[in-house]
Amino acid sequence: MSTQRSLRIEPLGRTVPVEEGRTLLEAALAQGIKLRSSCRNGTCRECLARIVEGSVRYRVEWPGLSPDEKAEGCTLPCVALPQTDVVLLQPRLEVPG
Ligand code: FES
């Protein structure tokens, strides 16, 4: 049985399932939630968001975050794999016009 986590996106207030091996970005997009993204490999920082609750690990060894940003809870959802249920703060959603 695979482990499934949940991702809540604030201030949108939506919760989506995250299947094992999926990033936060992939899980959101799979449910039609357009989190900002560009490179999807942890370098451009377009997807930068903040973790309010929970923890993640990274698909790449050194995602484009400074130690200070990591300490503040910043994350790059395109390469972040949840280790627990996660609450993500991302006010800059691409809401269809
Ligand atoms: S999309 Fe480029 S760092 Fe996440």
- Domains assigned to the chain: 4-88 (3.10.20.30)
Ligand 1 pocket check for 58: Cβ under 6 Å: no
pLDDT of 97: 44
Ligand 1 pocket check for 40: Cβ under 6 Å: yes
Ligand 1 pocket check for 89: Cβ under 6 Å: no
pLDDT of 96: 54
CA distance 66 to 20: 26
Residue 65 token pair:
């975050």
Preceding peptide of 91 cis, ω within 30°: no
Mean pLDDT in order along the chain per 10 residues (97 residues): 88 96 97 95 96 95 91 96 97 69
pLDDT of 36: 94
